[in-house]
């Protein structure tokens, strides 16, 4: 396996691959994946015999199990080689790579991250980069680019750091205590994003970017931001994954499918740190990819304050706050989403229902239009026996000792309104398909308002998207265990009946602007009921 041809390709271990023996075998790990092989301490010896040649490079056709290998060794080799391929821990390079390729530090990096290092190097060595920007920031970016082997021209002065090469551009900015690098793209797009990010990060970043009196940023922060900008440009030119993709999981419990919102690196001083944050770009929107609460309420770049449970009480209703706006839910995740949607509602035009998706927004608009329609009283027996409605009603009148009354009326076939009042003041209301659900949502809202110390009526509904509960499908669970999951299944029929009740008035979408739209929020104008 050690003979190397004069030309052709070699298979090598990626430089980021490391292995260690375990009591029962072997553990091998790469940048983002790993595997274990069990079968005894002898596997470490097998690995050492295999890893040595692979570090130098092996012709692909020779990376096979020798015919003369004992059965146990042959099985171990076959398993290890298969796992190396499966976890993308092997890379193909030209046989002449060591002699005629890039500088060693660049070669090792490309071997670690590129699918085809030689192809990436060809793109880089043909590239010519222009650098424009101020002082230490531009100098750091130019050094990083030159160290990678790119041809870099003289630095041109400018308020922003802008790196351009072969149709790719990256923009960055740096102030006394904060810096940022936007995602690569067309020059006009990255400049627009840079301006918007600077404004979002605060007045000091804007002042420095516009040539104000903030002064030269600290060298260490400028070096971090300038080098990060160079890194993103190099990856774009070489068709390598953007560095932000490696840490996208830090924004979410699990990365959502589809495009990721434009990631922006935000670096701060004291302590020195840098993280990628999702950016809702007005000029480069991507289709909504979920995780609205985390994106809208991002601590650095979100348009609304990050949702936080803080010291809010969490029983019986889960509460979260986005600034001074409180959200309610049966789970913490639902409460966080509710909080940021309510906070984003402040950014929308008047008489607009803002929802986490189209079903939610339309449901809110139709309910608001129908809430004042006349109805016929509903017999309390229709909801008294329901455990969910009874649970939340007890929370209102027993746990919080409110002298509350529930006014329940049927507005039409399969449409019920519940209003909770105490001392003549309206605490909450809900419109649902059944009396039990209407009372449950209205009572939960009233309990949440009392728990949070609020003074405005609260509206919760079955149109709100809720996550699949962990108890769903377990034989001994019932509606009371996973409510309100499942209520939204009847939402389409309820919305159709609500539309008929308000006189068939068209409910029109409202443009919420590119930022809220990119987050996945939807708005509908609240119509006037016609009856």
Which pLDDT score, from 0 to 100, does residue 66 have? 87
What are the residues whose beta carbons fall under 8 Å from the beta carbon of 140, sequence distance 6 or more? 222, 223, 224, 225, 226, 227, 230
Closest CA to 79 of 19, 31, 38, 51: 38
User: What pLDDT score does 521 carry?
Assistant: 94
Q: By the 8 A CB rule, do 376 and 410 touch?
A: yes
Question: pTM of whole model > 0.85?
Answer: no
Which residue ranges of the chain lie beneath pLDDT 70? 1-7, 203-215, 246-260, 287-290, 471-478, 530-531
Per-residue confidence (pLDDT) for residue 475, from 0 to 100: 65
Supply the pLDDT for residue 205: 52
Q: Which two structure tokens, joined as six digits, stand for 506?
A: 């068209």
pLDDT, residue 6, reads 44
- Taking residue 166's Cβ as centre, other Cβ atoms within 10 Å add up to 13
Q: Are 378 and 413 in contact (CB under 8 A)?
A: no
- C-alpha closest to that of 406 among 440, 373, 376: 440
Please tell me the predicted confidence (pLDDT) of residue 2.
39
Residues 6+ apart with CB under 8 A from 521: 292, 296, 341, 344, 354, 355, 356, 361, 512
**68-73: long-range contacts (C-beta < 8 A, 24 or more apart)?**
72/39, 72/42, 73/46
In 386-458, which ranges are continuous DSSP H helix? 387-394, 435-452
Query: What is the DSSP code string of 4-48?
Result: --SSSEEEEE-TT-EEEEETTEEEEE-SS-EEEEES-THHHHHHH
- Helices then strands, each counted (H, E), the chain: 18, 22
- The whole-number pLDDT of residue 396 equals 97
Q: What is the pLDDT of residue 246?
A: 64
**Domains with residue ranges and CATH for the chain:** 1-125 (3.90.930.70), 127-289 (no CATH)
Strand ranges across the sheet with 415-422: 376-377, 404-412, 415-422, 425-432, 458-459
What pLDDT does 96 receive?
87
- Is the Cβ–Cβ distance between 418 and 408 less than 8 Å? yes
């Amino acid at each position: 396996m050690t003979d190397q041809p004069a030309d052709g390709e070699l298979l090598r271990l990626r430089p980021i691959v490391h292995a260690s023996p375990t009591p029962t075998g072997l553990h091998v790990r790469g940048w983002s994946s790993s595997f274990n092989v069990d079968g005894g301490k002898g596997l470490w010896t097998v690995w050492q015999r295999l890893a040595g040649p692979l570090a130098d490079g092996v012709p692909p056709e020779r990376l096979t199990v020798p015919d003369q290998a004992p059965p146990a060794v042959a099985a171990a080799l076959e398993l290890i080689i298969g796992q190396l391929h499966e976890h993308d821990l092997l890379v193909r390079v030209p046989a002449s790579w060591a002699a005629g390729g890039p500088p060693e530090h660049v070669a090792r990096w490309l071997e670690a991250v590129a699918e085809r290092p030689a192809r990436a190097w060809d793109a880089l060595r043909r590239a010519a980069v222009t650098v424009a920007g101020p002082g230490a920031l531009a100098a750091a970016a130019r050094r990083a680019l030159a160290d990678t082997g790119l041809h870099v021209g003289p630095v041109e002065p400018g308020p922003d750091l802008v790196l351009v090469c072969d149709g790719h551009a990256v923009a960055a900015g740096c102030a006394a205590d904060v810096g940022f690098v936007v995602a690569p793209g067309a020059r006009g797009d990255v400049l627009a994003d840079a301006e918007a990010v600077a404004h979002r990060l605060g007045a000091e970043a804007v002042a420095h970017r516009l040539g104000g009196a903030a002064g030269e940023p600290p060298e260490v922060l400028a070096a971090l931001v300038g080098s990060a900008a160079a890194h993103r440009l190099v990856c774009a030119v070489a068709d390598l994954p953007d560095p932000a993709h490696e840490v996208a999981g830090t924004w979410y419990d699990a990365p959502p499918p589809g495009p990721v919102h434009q990631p922006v690196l935000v670096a701060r001083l004291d302590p020195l740190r840098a993280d990628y944050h999702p950016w809702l770009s007005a000029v480069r929107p991507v289709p909504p990819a979920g995780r609205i609460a985390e994106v809208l309420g991002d601590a650095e770049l979100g348009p609304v304050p990050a949702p936080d449970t803080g010291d809010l009480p969490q029983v019986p209703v889960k509460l979260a706050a986005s600034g001074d706006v409180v959200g309610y839910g049966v789970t913490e995740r639902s409460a966080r989403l509710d909080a940021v949607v309510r906070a984003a509602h402040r950014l929308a035009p008047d008489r607009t229902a803002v929802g986490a998706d189209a079903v939610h927004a339309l449901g809110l608009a139709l309910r608001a239009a129908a809430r004042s329609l006349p109805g016929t009283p509903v017999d309390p027996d229709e909801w008294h026996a329901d455990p969910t409605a009874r649970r939340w009603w007890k929370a209102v009148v027993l746990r919080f000792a409110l002298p509350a009354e529930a006014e329940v009326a049927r507005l039409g076939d399969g449409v019920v309104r519940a209003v909770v009042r105490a001392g003549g003041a309206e605490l909450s209301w809900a419109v649902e398909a059944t009396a039990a659900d209407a009372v449950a949502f209205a009572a939960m809202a009233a309990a949440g308002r009392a728990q949070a110390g609020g003074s405005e009526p609260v509206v919760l509904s079955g149109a709100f998207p809720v996550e699949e509960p962990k108890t769903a499908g377990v034989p001994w669970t019932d509606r009371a265990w996973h409510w309100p999951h499942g209520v939204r299944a009847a939402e389409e029929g309820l919305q159709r009946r609500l539309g008929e009740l308000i006189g068939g008035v068209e409910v029109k979408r409202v443009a919420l602007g590119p930022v809220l739209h990119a987050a996945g929020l939807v708005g509908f104008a609240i119509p006037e009921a016609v009856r």
